[in-house]
Chain A
Amino acid sequence: MVSVNDIWVIARFEIVRHLRSRHAIVAGLLLIAFCGFGAYELAQFADKLAELDRDLGPALDMIAGMVESLTDLPVIGIRGLLREHPPVLVALFALVMLFMPLLCIILTYDQTATDIETRHVRYLLFRSDRVSIYLGKAAGALVLVSLAIALVLLIFGVFLGVRSSALEGLEGVVYLGRIWLTASLYAVPFVALLALSSALFGRARRALTATFLYWFAVGTLSGLLSLANDGFERLSYLFPSVGRFSLLLDDPAAVRGTVLYLLAFSLVAGLLGLWRFRSRDL
């Protein structure tokens, strides 16, 4: 029987465990340094835009060029976004989505792996059921990613708010909230994939390496084989980094396909991982 209380208790424990680990402290410091640098650069960029005195033509060209180089979105779509929202924040959104796969893998690769490796899981198994343990650890990993994204956005938000007027008041704050929510939800298929990897390999480093190799293999195979036949491009759907930039778009119809794909991916990866965790000797 799945226990919601157990899931909550384990998730809370996982968050604290990761936040106290040396790996998380190093990753956090790197993230803060990286965000500080990125926020400084983005603020410089915002200053340049301000110098253009809100002449939207050249300014939009600059940002559209930047966003286009980061994403696979069409220029028309990008221009539409830039007209509707604070342009610098749209660029920030694209930047966050660009780094999401990497961030998710680094933060969530060790869900059940270390517990299996050190057999710590045996102290849990007679106190809770496997499904609750699995879901609790996945939930903890998801909250951890959400916290990391919140930290990133806070650093960028403060920098942009203090250094320039790029935040554009409440509208900008609301947009930051949207970035956080979208990125947090986008982390779900990665958490599911890493939960599968964790349960499959039962060794944290092995799970991390295997996921990176898998990402590389999917990208390489789909790229090479699609040269022979365009249909092989679909292979890229085996890793959930595909189509993520469409989540920037405002039109629900344009986002629906990606959301359904990510949902299906999460379900398949999550259930495969759960099956492995339930069936393996622990």
Chain B
Amino acid sequence: MTAALRVTGLSKSYGSLQALRGMNLEVQPSQIFGVVGPNGAGKTTLFSVVSGFLPADAGEVEIAGKRLSRGQPPPKGSLSILPQDAGFIAELDLGMQLVLYGELQGLSRARAQDEARRVLKLVGLSEVYDRKAKTLSHGMHKRVGIAQAFIGEPTLVILDEPTAGLDPHAAREIRALLRKIQGQRTVIVSSHNLGEVEDLCNEVAILDQGVLVRQDTITGVIGGAQLVVFRLSRPPSDADLVGLRALPFVTDVAWSTDDERLRVAFNADSQPPGPASRDMVCALVDAGVLFVEMKLGKSLEERFLEETRAGAGS
């Protein structure tokens, strides 16, 4: 299958600062793909180079098998992006601006007008077609930014921090929108909200200091540690954990006062995750310990901290 996006040996420097160091990345089509990394990891630079905002110093970018020429935009209709800090023209009607984008993607004027209305409806903002950009709230601005990325139904959509700065309601609506289009096209999402990435994406890439440190499916990233995490109704005593420790496949039991979680590591070769977690639950219930949440594997946040500098420093 042709990759929706393939990046090979991509490098980009700003003076002495090397933002991308021979980055390699491959994104398969029709999935929601997460890109995470600490500040300065190179996420926005990667998107900027892929979208043609910045010329790369070295390396290649392919979108749906077509190699991008240096300094040239992607083929029309192949890629759209919600840039992190782009703005609309404050004094102009949004409809007019969206029609311009549609026409630049090769649509006729009439089709571009239809598309502008369609994408505004998609983000639940049909009423802003005739409104000036300066009258929008931050959240609405962001949603119109997302709307413009779907004009002309591009093959690959990049959303650089689509929910940053949004209130929980607006962020939830954006996530619902992304779930709605899941499977229809390839969407690459970057976010500092790792719970959001874990929740939305099929696959994730962790970047750090301009290189790809890990790329895997979400279950691969969080489930590989053979761990069950419990949030208990109260801190457990040593006696509460005796039964758990006695289970033959359990290799470690640790209570963390930092986040008030009980982490139970186990050997999946001697007991698969399903039966293992069932036996752990039984052991806890037998000891009279109630839990309010159970999660298989580490959270993406934990894996992220382990894989990146922050993890190394903590």
- Give the interface of A toward B (CB within 8 A): 1, 5-6, 9-10, 13, 16-17, 20-22, 114, 118-120, 122-130, 278-279, 281-282
Contacts and interface: CB of A to CB of B under 8 A. Distances in A.
18 contacts: A9-B104, A13-B96, A13-B100, A20-B91, A20-B92, A118-B86, A119-B83, A120-B88, A122-B51, A122-B53, A122-B83, A123-B97, A125-B51, A126-B51, A127-B104, A129-B72, A279-B55, A281-B54
A279 B55 CA distance: 8
B73 interface: yes
Contact of A125 (B73, B76, B88, B100): B73
Interface of B: 14, 51-55, 71-74, 76, 79-81, 83, 85-92, 96-97, 100-101, 103-106, 148
The 3 closest A-B pairs by CB, nearest first: A127-B104, A122-B86, A122-B83
B92 A17 contact: yes
A282 B88 CA distance: 15
A82 B216 CA distance: 82
B52 A125 contact: yes
Among A1, A125, A126, max chain B CB count under 10 A is at A126
A276 to B, nearest CB: 14
Contacts of A282: 53-54
Given A127-B104, A127-B105, A119 B87 contact: yes
Contacts of B14: 281
Nearest to A124: B104
B86 A120 contact: yes
B71 A125 contact: no
A281 B101 contact: no
Given A122-B51, A127-B104, 9 more contacts: A6-B104, A17-B89, A120-B89, A122-B85, A124-B104, A127-B73, A128-B104, A282-B53, A282-B54
Contact of B71 (A10, A120, A128, A278): A278
B100 A9 contact: yes
Contacts of B52: 125-126
Contacts of A279: 55
A126 B76 CA distance: 8
Contacts of B71: 130, 278
B183 to A, nearest CB: 23
Given A125-B53, A126-B81, A127-B104, A118 B87 contact: yes
A10 B97 CA distance: 11
Contact of B73 (A10, A114, A119, A126): A126
Contact of B101 (A5, A21, A22, A127): A127
A13 B105 CA distance: 15
Contacts of B81: 122, 126
Contact of A119 (B55, B85, B100, B103): B85
B74 A123 contact: no
A129 B55 CA distance: 12
Contacts of A20: 91-92
Given A9-B104, A17-B92, A281-B53, A126 B80 contact: yes
Contacts of A114: 89
Nearest to B77: A127
Contacts of B104: 6, 9-10, 124, 127-128
A5 B109 CA distance: 12
Contacts of A5: 106
A124 B53 CA distance: 10
Contact of A120 (B54, B73, B87): B87
A278 B54 CA distance: 10
Nearest to A14: B100
Contacts of A128: 73, 104
Contacts of A21: 91
Contacts of A126: 51-53, 73-74, 79-81
A3 B81 CA distance: 21
Contacts of B106: 5
Nearest to B88: A120
Nearest to B86: A122
Among A22, A125, A130, max chain B CB count under 10 A is at A125
Among A22, A123, A278, max chain B CB count under 10 A is at A123
Nearest to B104: A127
B96 A16 contact: yes
A10 B99 CA distance: 11
Among B71, B73, B87, max chain A CB count under 10 A is at B73
Nearest to B79: A126
Contacts of A1: 72
